Structure 1
């Protein structure tokens, strides 16, 4: 007699949303936003819209910190990969701010497909894609090849998620890769990169708040710089090394900081400035 074994598998809740999970009415409403019919979008190998340089410069200037932080983490991820992965960072409106990936691929997309800084990823201009849907839902989404409207993206699988700073969406990060790759394996990489970016942005928020608090005590730029490291519990020798100063100079500045902020030791200083910030 043959024995049959049945195994009950645990369902894993995925943190992203997909086209198939969305209400059809929502999809129909998005379809109405397209500037052309679906067939026209399906034939597109080039991005339709790209901002003029002077307008793009305004977006870049207002997002300098986001671009710097995101590029550093995305390039670090790309450099450690043996597979081709492309990161696209956009503004909250879907304007491409930067593209990170294998340089040859980045250049080809820019030169041959009009995809680079200034390209517009709204539904109106680029149809249904991971970025445009993520913007509509303000959530992490996953699209696989054929689900994209543009022909350009039909060989790609894409994750896209909002990038948040202090709870506010300040941009969107897309990770694109070949449809041949296992998206479940790459999901963890995307989540790690996104988390690293948001954590660093959070630290910069804290630094800004601390510097503003320092300003009420009229600390000089150098005193703010050393005071910030002192709050992070760096020793005088380490601060000296970080800033290219002597240890004696650092200790003298710390004494001035104590005098201005009316504290007598490091413990008091940390409690005074970190309460409510961490």
Structure 2
């Protein structure tokens, strides 16, 4: 959990980019793409919004990242005293989760923002679409956003990278008059903690084949081994059912069978037995 610290003097080299730092010809190209996509200041393109089932699937797929985000934001040290909003997006730029001040969350929920794409061709210029182009921490002032709904906030976005793989993006929106340097440090620390915990998930020294060999000792069927492997690596029952084309009920029943055959009664002991 991140504990807020007092900001120090600004370092000689910033760890983020403003829109004003970007070469004018590149910004002009981004704006050309926004114009071609017919993005206006008052709309988000509906065609780049997930359906309810699609949003549920993507949230399920990234459940560990969402879980770690919520853990990071569960303490007082990770919240600002003024209006603010944390967001988590997948690698394609779809907004999966929002956490923050109730007035902000409720307003955006009313616009059906969860599930919307924040990519350049969907929401125009914003901190996330700039971050997607640059793959580094970005800061965008309210008036620089294409969509008017974001005009009252300064937004910061950082990529979530685990062992070189881009898993998604984390973002923080603050009021325009708030301390940008402190907010950037806060978001980068939250993001680093999420990355560290996700990296630990994949730190098992055992290969899939070695884990399957251990499961063979308990008489698991090939499908039970596949479900067991995905379950111990924190995939949800919904995600497993979608990826293996079986019902969620079947997945739950298989997990119960796996527990019975391996002599455990809960997930923590199951993971300890086969991964540690």
TM-score by length of 2: 0.68
Equivalent residues of 2:84, 2:104 under 8 A apart: no
Deviations 1:228-267 (A, max 9, x none): 9xxxxxxxxxxxxxx999xxxx9xxx9xx8xxx9xxxxxx
Structure 1 segments of 4+ aligned residues over 6 angstroms from their partners: none
Q: CA deviation at 1:81?
A: 3.3
Stretches of structure 2 that go unaligned for 5 or more consecutive residues are 1-8, 221-227, 233-263
The answer to whether the aligner puts 1:120 opposite 2:117 as a matched pair is: yes
The answer to whether the aligner puts 1:144 opposite 2:133 as a matched pair is: no
**Aligned counterparts of 2:146 and 2:92: Cα–Cα separation in 1:** 19
Equivalent residues of 1:75, 1:101 under 8 A apart: no
Name the SS for the 2:73 alignment partner: helix
Tell me which residue corresponds to 2:102: 103
**Aligned counterparts of 1:158 and 1:80: Cα–Cα separation in 2:** 15
TM-score by length of 1: 0.68
The answer to whether the aligner puts 1:181 opposite 2:182 as a matched pair is: no
Q: CA deviation at 1:143?
A: 0.9
Name the SS for the 2:160 alignment partner: strand
Higher gyration radius (CA)? 1
Equivalent residues of 1:88, 1:98 under 8 A apart: yes
The answer to whether the aligner puts 1:60 opposite 2:59 as a matched pair is: yes
**Aligned counterparts of 2:91 and 2:53: Cα–Cα separation in 1:** 19
Number of matched pairs: 218
**Per the alignment, do residues 11 and 72 of structure 1 end up closer, same or farther by CA in structure 2, a change over 3 Å counting?**
closer
**Per the alignment, do residues 78 and 156 of structure 1 end up closer, same or farther by CA in structure 2, a change over 3 Å counting?**
farther
**Per the alignment, do residues 194 and 77 of structure 1 end up closer, same or farther by CA in structure 2, a change over 3 Å counting?**
farther
Q: CA deviation at 1:16?
A: 0.8
**Aligned counterparts of 1:80 and 1:23: Cα–Cα separation in 2:** 34
Tell me which residue corresponds to 2:162: 165
Tell me which residue corresponds to 2:71: 72
Match among 191, 195, 200 for residue 198 of structure 1: 195
Q: CA deviation at 1:182?
A: 1.1
**Aligned counterparts of 1:128 and 1:101: Cα–Cα separation in 2:** 22
Equivalent residues of 1:128, 1:148 under 8 A apart: yes
Deviations 1:198-255 (A, max 9, x none): 1111111114x5474454444769xx9xxx9xxxxxxxxxxxxxx999xxxx9xxx9x
Name the SS for the 1:51 alignment partner: coil
Deviations 1:181-203 (A, max 9, x none): 01012221111111111111111
Higher relative contact order (CA 8 A, sep 6+): 2
**Per the alignment, do residues 214 and 11 of structure 1 end up closer, same or farther by CA in structure 2, a change over 3 Å counting?**
closer
Equivalent residues of 1:166, 1:202 under 8 A apart: yes
Tell me which residue corresponds to 1:265: none
Equivalent residues of 1:47, 1:114 under 8 A apart: no
**Aligned counterparts of 1:87 and 1:80: Cα–Cα separation in 2:** 9
